[in-house]
Amino acid sequence: MTRDGNAVIVVTRLNGGQIGVNPDLVQRIDSAPDTILTLIDGTKYIVVESMDEVIDRINEHRASILARAREIQSSPYMELVPDLPADPDEPAAAPLAPAVPIRPRSI
């Protein structure tokens, strides 16, 4: 199960506590008989969920990212950036501040 807005999957440690794990950092999942998540930095977590459950959660997480990307891609640009005028030739609602010239630093 993923938490909305977070880039983690939630798993349960053997002591009952829940932790969020970044699924992109999972290098390996072992089942011997407990499920052991090994992260790319070598950190290991023993979790209550089965290997299949963890894999399902990772797949659901990745599917939600792809669905969100597709949703953003299909949204009209103006919904994503409501401050911009609909017509590029139309003046902005508020006048822009004058540009500040960039000068090289004296050494």
* Domain total in the chain: 1
Using H for helix, E for strand and C for coil, what is the string for 3-46? CCCCCCEEEEECCCCEEEECHHHEEEEEECCCEEEEECCCCEEE
> pLDDT digit string (tens) for 2-35?
445 568 999 999 999 999 999 999 999 999 899 9
40: containing domain: 9-75
Check residue 74 and give its pLDDT: 78
Residue 78 pLDDT exceeds 60:
no
Residue 31 lies in a domain: yes
Q: What percent of the chain has pLDDT over 70?
A: 73
Q: What pTM value is reported for the model?
A: 0.64
Residue 23 lies in a domain: yes
